[in-house]
């Protein structure tokens, strides 16, 4: 399977930003500073369980349910 | 009313200068004072002069005011309601404790009478001033970023390179540890400038083993960190420390580096002024011209029309400017704008970083 990480990251940004472009950009920077570079993941990225687990933790920290 | 500034080694003179140009009751008064001065006296005089204003400040490793960089002075700024019409500040005794940070933001919510998560980041901005010897900046900034979309900008307090004790101050009371955070509403908006003077070299290092708590990288690319860093620069490990300031590492956000500056080698590990996540991909950077780059960054923000500017300026940049005898040249970049700032032990914007200036600008008419 592939692409789950990108989908999860997109969900975090969308749910946090709620359509606000400024908040979307700020959230992307926060993800990067938390150690997850959204630019690294695309629809073909393997579903690495360790990264998926980390993304779930980050989502929880940001108060976003995914 | 205008934003007014002051620069003196005498707190009473600072107040006199501030009162010449600003409202009787500014919404916010900021001060940055050399640790060589009596911080308690400075904050007391300012607090007695502005009892109804939010008053925050800290100790420095050098100061900046319009047109000059100084040492051994107090710089202060009074910001009237035209530019900040709400200001809520609080002290955090242990900024590395997420629960304390959450409690602090709850206190701010109570003052603002609205949830901090719902604040509009286009008109609300945060200022953070933290004990520069706490080592807690990353945890503080991350928790603030979790709790709110308001961007926080600021710096780590200094003590004129003594590295013994720094001070943060709120409403006339100083603390030799902790942090002060403030959330401000800027009815005319604000701009943030984050500038650093580096280009990428195209050489990358991946932090494969780290100790985040001690800001230590044990391994880059599964090799001893010092060996891998030196190899990336084509030098021996013994030559590496001399190149630290010129070649720090950058966590890249597109083309924008968040600079991580190495402090020293410990065994085969490298200790930084900022922590690194395991797995972080970092670019080896090469320094460029601080004055020219800052001038360009300011020009991009039209600062000539700015009504006020607060500059959180890394002490490592100050040391480089001092070594090149270019402090006055740097200070002159701000000659046309009411400016205060200080040389920090770390800069904050979204996260914690090094060898950077983070600036908050209030647009003019």
pLDDT in tens, B231-243: 999 999 999 999 9
- Nearest-CB residue to A35 (from B146, B149, B279): B279
B12 touches chain A (CB under 8 A): no
CA distance B146 to chain A (A): 5
Residue B305 pLDDT:
77
Chain center to CA of B280: 23
Residue A6 has pLDDT above 70, yes or no: yes
Strand partners, B108: none
Which pLDDT belongs to residue A14?
97
In-domain check, residue A43: yes
Neighbours of A19 (CB within 10 A): 7
- Tell me the C-alpha distance between B275 and B270, whole Å: 11
Q: Are B283 and B249 in contact (CB under 8 A)?
A: yes
CB contact under 8 A, A22 and B122: yes
Q: How many beta-carbon pairs below 8 A join chains A and B?
A: 43
- B278 shares contact with chain A (CB less than 8 Å): yes
Q: Is residue A66 a part of any domain in this protein?
A: no
Q: Do the strands B306-314 and B339-344 form a parallel or antiparallel pair, or are they unpaired?
A: parallel
When CB atoms are compared, the residue of A20, A29, A62 closest to B253 is A29
**How far apart are alpha carbons B191 and B347 in whole angstroms?**
16
Distance from CA of A15 to the nearest CA of B (A): 13
User: Number of folded domains in chain A?
Assistant: 1
Among the residue ranges B88-92, B279-283, B299-303, B318-322, the one predicted with the least confidence is B299-303
- Helices A21-33 and A4-17, axial angle in degrees (round to 10): 130
Q: What is the pLDDT of residue A1?
A: 77
Contacts of B251 in chain A (CB under 8 A): 32-33
The complex's ipTM works out to: 0.96
Is there a domain that residue A18 lies in? yes
Percent of chain B residues past pLDDT 70, beyond the cut: 99
A1 to chain B nearest CA, in Å?
Answer: 22
B323 in contact with chain A, both atoms CB, cutoff 8 A: no
SS3 state of residue B173: strand
Q: How many residues does chain A have?
A: 66
Residue A55 inside a domain? The answer is yes
pLDDT in tens, B40-65: 999 999 999 999 999 999 999 999 99
The SS3 call for residue B184 is strand
- Helix, coil or strand: residue A4: helix
Note whether residue A13 is domain-resident: yes
Range of the domain at A56: 4-61
**Per-residue pLDDT at B302:** 63
> What is the overall mean pLDDT for chain B?
96
- Would A50 be classed as within a structural domain? yes
User: What is the DSSP-derived secondary structure letter of residue A62?
Assistant: T
Residue B364, pLDDT above cutoff 90: no
Q: Tell whether the model's pLDDT for residue A25 goes beyond 80.
A: yes
Mean pLDDT of the region B183-195: 96
Q: Note whether A39 contacts B: Cβ–Cβ < 8 A.
A: yes
Using a CB-CB distance cutoff of 8 angstroms, which residues of chain A are in contact with residue B279?
Answer: 35
H or E element: which one contains B323?
A: helix B315-323
Residue A34 domain-assigned (yes or no): yes
**B226 sits in which H/E element:** helix B225-233
Task: Determine, yes or no, domain membership for A36.
Answer: yes
Q: Which of B 91-130 lie inside 8 A of A, CB atoms?
A: 117, 121-122
């Amino acid at each position: 399977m592939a692409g789950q990480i990108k989908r999860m990251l997109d969900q975090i940004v969308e749910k946090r930003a709620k359509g606000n472009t400024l908040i979307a950009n700020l959230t992307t920077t926060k993800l990067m500073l938390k150690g997850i570079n959204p630019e690294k993941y695309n629809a073909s990225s393997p579903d690495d369980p360790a990264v998926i687990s980390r993304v779930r933790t980050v989502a929880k920290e940001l108060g976003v349910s995914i | 009313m205008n934003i007014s500034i002051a620069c003196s080694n005498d707190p009473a003179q600072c107040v006199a200068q501030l009162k010449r140009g600003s409202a009787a009751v500014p919404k916010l008064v900021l001060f940055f004072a050399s640790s060589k001065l009596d911080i308690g006296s400075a904050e007391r005089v300012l607090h007695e002069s502005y009892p109804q204003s939010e008053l925050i400040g800290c100790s420095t490793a050098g100061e900046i005011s319009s047109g000059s960089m100084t040492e051994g002075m107090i710089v202060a700024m009074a910001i009237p309601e035209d530019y900040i019409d709400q200001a809520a500040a609080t002290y955090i005794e242990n900024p590395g404790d997420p629960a304390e940070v959450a409690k602090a933001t709850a206190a701010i919510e109570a003052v603002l009478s609205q949830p901090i998560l719902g604040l509009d980041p286009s008109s609300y901005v945060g200022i953070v001033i933290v004990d520069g010897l706490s080592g807690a900046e990353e945890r503080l900034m991350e928790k603030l970023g979790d709790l709110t979309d308001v961007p926080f900008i600021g710096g780590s307090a200094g003590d004129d390179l003594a590295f013994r004790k720094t001070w943060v101050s709120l409403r006339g009371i100083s603390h030799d540890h902790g942090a002060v955070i403030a959330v401000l509403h800027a009815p005319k908006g604000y701009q943030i400038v984050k500038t650093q003077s580096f280009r990428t070299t195209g050489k990358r290092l991946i932090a494969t083993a780290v100790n985040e708590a001690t800001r230590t990288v044990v391994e880059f690319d599964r090799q001893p960190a010092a060996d891998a860093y030196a190899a990336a620069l084509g030098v021996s490990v013994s030559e590496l420390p001399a190149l630290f300031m010129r070649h720090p590492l950058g966590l890249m956000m597109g083309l924008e580096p968040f600079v991580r500056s190495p402090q020293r080698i410990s065994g085969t590990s490298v200790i930084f002024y900022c922590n690194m996540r395991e797995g972080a991909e970092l670019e080896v950077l090469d320094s460029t011209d601080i004055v020219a780059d800052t001038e360009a960054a300011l020009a991009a923000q039209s600062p000539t029309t700015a009504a006020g500017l607060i500059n959180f300026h890394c002490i490592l940049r100050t040391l480089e400017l001092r070594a090149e005898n270019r402090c006055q040249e740097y200070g002159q970049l701000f000659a046309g704008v009411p400016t205060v700032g200080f040389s920090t032990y770390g800069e904050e914007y979204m996260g914690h970083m090094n060898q950077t200036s983070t600036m908050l600008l209030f647009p003019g008419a």
